Chains A and B, each alone.
Chain A
């Protein structure tokens, strides 16, 4: 049983560019959450998707947007990249009925903005 997968593993972008990160949840999970983890910090919640809609959102600007597809996979888009967006982006999935109470994390995508 595959766990949560994310792509790409690493990414280097230039300030002002746009980036799309992808996540496939664990089999049987229907809720996907995205987190930003800066170096030496704990994960910060960006948003959560359920039934193809954004259910909750953390304190992140509108430059951060997302999407969930009918197969429950999800994308995170970041526009107008800033140097401060450099971080590890983590995707986490949850089984039905759990909300985000118990989450399974992917390995993350390391984004570097130069």
Chain B
């Protein structure tokens, strides 16, 4: 079956530091990959997505590249802000069999200090 593995958190950084959150996946077909962000007390928001190998998704300074050869979709940001503190979820959606139901990782908490 499909699965998503994320690095354990929390990830604690100082403002303006470089961020990487690792994500690897297992899928039976050719999935689309997503990063969602969840701020405290809120639901999930789609941050970025990539639908095929070598695609790069980007939004709000975050980016991730779909690497089929390493089955990875690592999230990066060059300079984090305190307002980026949240939980980040990597997810895949595999259309094989007509199902688009996403599979989520366990989430990685990011804490950014001033």
Contacts and interface: CB of A to CB of B under 8 A. Distances in A.
Interface of A: 4, 33, 40-45, 48, 56, 58, 90, 92, 98-108
Contacts of A100: 93, 100-102
B43 A101 contact: no
Contact of B32 (A43, A101, A107): A101
Contacts of B46: 102-104
A42 B105 contact: yes
Interface residues of B, number: 22
Interface of A is mostly: loop
B101 A107 contact: no
A110 to B, nearest CB: 9
Nearest to B98: A99
Interface of B is mostly: strand
Contacts of B25: none
A66 B95 CA distance: 24
> Nearest 3 CB-CB pairs, A to B?
A42-B104, A105-B43, A99-B100
B42 interface: yes
Interface of B: 4, 32, 36, 41-46, 49, 89, 91, 93, 95, 99-102, 104-107
Given A100-B93, A101-B93, A102-B49, A43 B44 contact: yes
A107 B39 CA distance: 10
Contacts of B104: 42-44
B43 A4 contact: yes
A4 B44 CA distance: 11
B85 to A, nearest CB: 17
Given A56-B99, A100-B100, A100-B101, A108 B43 contact: yes
A48 B100 CA distance: 11
16 contacts: A40-B106, A42-B4, A42-B89, A42-B104, A42-B105, A43-B44, A45-B101, A48-B101, A90-B44, A92-B43, A100-B100, A101-B95, A102-B46, A102-B49, A105-B43, A105-B45
B26 to A, nearest CB: 15
